[in-house]
């Protein structure tokens, strides 16, 4: 006979088995229910669903659509080939088409201010976007392979004349143009030839042969365009032809290359998306007129980052008309001077002028030297019209024909004077400018003025004096954060004057500096012995 404990144990086990059996049945039932919902045996009903239909209804007028349809046929895709070379550097990379920072290119009445701004933004501006096909290496064409590049352009004459950027076709051996109406099977496109180029504005004119008139664009007035105006860009970014983007004019009169390289480049800035391959394409206003040629972008990635630059149409028209002339070149006037833009207020006050241009260097044998202009003169007027700044001076003189004369007003030692200057050809005036030879001719020594200015100087060595054709003191060291450091003085520069007073030697320098007091304007006249051809640089501020 079983004990009470054994009977209770048996009942407990039976209860557990019964519970497990019930759970198993529930799980199986749920599985069948789910299979009925999601499986093939049971389909859901959709008898109450309404089929969708495409609705065709009028949309509000859109100027961007209209412009794209009207102008699109006149925008072309440009492909170039550079054949393998046996020697030489060959084709440059697409982000190297502009002179690199600190390179000097002599030019008309040069602005020699090469301050590139914080973080050396110039490196980013140098990233032009007309270069080679993305992902394709550029070794200058010396690897036995044909190098290809791409860009855009637009037809301005029904006979086949096309405007684009010089850097799109630069050094190309073969140029091909594909119209929007050309079939995709036509390989690279129609052969084109170069009519003329202008490197100063990065513009070019090419031509294709045609048996029938081609669609053209209209050139608008860029001077009437305003910041905030809507604009549309059409081009072939990444070889994607007839790509349309839109934005606004975000700024005007932007100069992204300082000094001589940028003196004829004053861009329209836009946030319309432009990328590699857009270069040379049109920037259009809401009338469908070209107000700019897309030329450069600001980028850290070689792609769109919200800022692009277009050469204004008024400049483009002037250059185009010169390039299709019998000479096929742009001739600009020059008087053979160099100057620095953006001088501080202290320089203006010490030298006694508000508006005008302070001459930094006079080209030997040039028109200005023949007319008696000297370094330190302040050009204030041309033919009686006041000159506001360096851009005003360059634009006025560059527009004059070589051989013509102007009456140049200037100030020397505080006295107004004038002289007649015969305009020269810019290319010829600066053709013989020699490249400087570097030297390392410095001695160590102490320097008076360290307490006030933070600069230690010494007498300039005789070799340096001979090279720069001037006496002065050479900077031995500059204390970080000092007045001299904040003004941009650097070791190796030669100071020839302080506040127009000669500092031919250390003793003279000490005397002049000892008289300075807080609140005084201090202007240094300095020469870089490594680049004496750049002439005098005026650096100053308020102590």
DSSP 29-45: HHHHHHHHHHSSSSPPP
From the candidates 109, 166, 198, 202, give the one annotated as an active-site residue. Answer: 202
Are the CB atoms for 205 and 320 separated by under 8 Å? yes
CA 265, 268, 274, 280 dihedral sign is: negative
Are the CB atoms for 246 and 231 separated by under 8 Å? yes
Give the CB-side neighbour count of residue 414, counting CA atoms within 13 A.
Answer: 4
**Residue 411: its H or E element:** strand 405-412
CA distance 528 to 53: 76
**Residue 388: its H or E element:** none
Are the CB atoms for 105 and 258 separated by under 8 Å? no
Give the CB-side neighbour count of residue 514, counting CA atoms within 13 A.
Answer: 8
For the chain, percent helix, then strand, then coil, each to nearest 5? Answer: 25, 30, 45
Chain centre distance of CA 108:
19
CA distance 273 to 299: 12
Query: Residues 6 or more apart from 57 whose CB is under 8 A from it?
Result: none
Query: Residues 6 or more apart from 149 whose CB is under 8 A from it?
Result: 79, 80, 82, 91, 94, 130, 131, 132, 133, 168, 172
Cβ-based burial of 31 (10 A; exposed 0-12, middle 13-18, buried ≥19): exposed
3-state secondary structure 498-513: ECCEECCCHHHHHHHH
Is 167 annotated as catalytic?
yes
Are the CB atoms for 270 and 231 separated by under 8 Å? yes
Is 10 annotated as catalytic?
no
Is 119 annotated as catalytic?
no
From the candidates 279, 322, 377, 459, give the one annotated as an active-site residue. Answer: 279
Are the CB atoms for 375 and 496 separated by under 8 Å? no
Q: Nearest 5 degrees, angle CA 81-CA 86-CA 87?
A: 100
CA distance 147 to 55: 49
Per-residue tokens: 378: 């302040």
Please provide the size of the chain in residues: 543
3-state secondary structure of 248: strand
Around Cβ 154, how many Cβ atoms within 10 Å? 23
Q: Nearest 5 degrees, angle CA 535-CA 541-CA 543?
A: 135
From the candidates 167, 266, 322, 334, give the one annotated as an active-site residue. Answer: 167
Query: Residues 6 or more apart from 348 whose CB is under 8 A from it?
Result: 354
The catalytic residue positions are 167, 202, 279
């Amino acid at each position: 006979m079983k004990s009470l404990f054994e009977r209770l144990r048996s009942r407990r086990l039976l209860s557990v088995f019964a519970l497990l059996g019930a759970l198993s049945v529930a799980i199986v039932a749920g599985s069948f229910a789910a299979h009925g919902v999601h499986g093939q045996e049971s389909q859901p009903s959709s008898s109450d669903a309404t089929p969708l239909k495409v609705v065709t209804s009028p949309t509000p007028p859109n100027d961007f659509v209209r412009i794209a349809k009207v102008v699109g046929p006149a925008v072309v895709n440009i492909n170039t080939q550079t054949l393998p070379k046996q020697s030489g550097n060959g084709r440059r990379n697409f982000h190297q088409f502009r002179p690199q920072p600190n390179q000097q290119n002599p030019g008309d009445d040069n602005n020699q201010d090469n301050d590139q701004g914080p973080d050396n933004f110039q490196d980013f501006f140098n990233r032009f976007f007309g270069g080679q096909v993305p992902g394709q290496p550029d070794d200058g064409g010396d690897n036995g392979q044909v190098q290809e590049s791409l860009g855009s352009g637009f037809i301005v004459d029904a006979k086949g004349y096309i405007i684009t950027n010089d850097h799109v076709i630069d050094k190309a051996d073969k140029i091909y143009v594909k119209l929007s109406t050309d079939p995709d099977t036509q390989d690279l496109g129609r052969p084109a030839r170069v009519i003329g180029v202008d490197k100063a504005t990065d513009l070019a004119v090419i031509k294709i042969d045609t048996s029938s008139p081609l669609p053209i664009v209209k050139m608008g007035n860029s001077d009437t365009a305003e910041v905030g105006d809507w604009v549309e860009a059409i081009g072939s970014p990444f070889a994607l032809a007839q790509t349309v983007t839109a934005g606004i004019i975000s700024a005007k009169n932007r100069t992204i290359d300082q000094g001589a390289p940028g003196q004829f480049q004053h861009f329209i800035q836009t946030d319309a998306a432009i990328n590699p391959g857009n270069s040379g394409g049109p920037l259009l206003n809401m009338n469908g007129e070209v107000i700019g040629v897309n030329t450069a972008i600001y980028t850290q990635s070689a792609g769109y980052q919200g800022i692009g630059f277009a050469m204004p149409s008024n400049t483009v028209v002037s250059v185009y008309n010169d390039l299709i002339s019998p000479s096929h070149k742009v001739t600009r006037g020059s008087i053979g001077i160099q100057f620095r833009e953006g001088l501080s207020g202290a320089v203006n006050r010490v030298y006694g002028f508000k508006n005008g241009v302070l001459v930094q260097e006079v080209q030997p044998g040039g028109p200005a030297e023949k007319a008696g202009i000297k370094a330190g003169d302040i050009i204030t007027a041309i033919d009686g019209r006041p000159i506001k700044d360096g851009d005003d001076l360059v634009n006025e003189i560059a527009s004059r024909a070589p051989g013509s004369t102007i009456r140049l007003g200037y100030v020397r030692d505080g006295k107004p004077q004038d002289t007649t200057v015969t305009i020269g050809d810019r290319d010829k005036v600066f053709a013989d400018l020699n490249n400087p030879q570097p030297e390392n001719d410095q001695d160590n020594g102490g320097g008076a003025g360290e307490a006030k200015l933070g600069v230690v100087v010494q007498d300039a060595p005789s070799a340096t004096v001979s090279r720069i054709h001037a006496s002065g003191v050479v900077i031995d060291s500059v204390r970080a954060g000092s007045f001299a450091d904040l003004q941009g003085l650097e070791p190796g520069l030669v100071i020839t004057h302080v506040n127009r007073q000669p500092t031919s030697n250390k003793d003279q320098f000490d005397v002049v500096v000892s008289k300075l007091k807080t609140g005084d304007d201090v202007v240094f006249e300095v020469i870089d012995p490594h680049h004496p051809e750049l002439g005098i640089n005026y650096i100053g501020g308020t102590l």
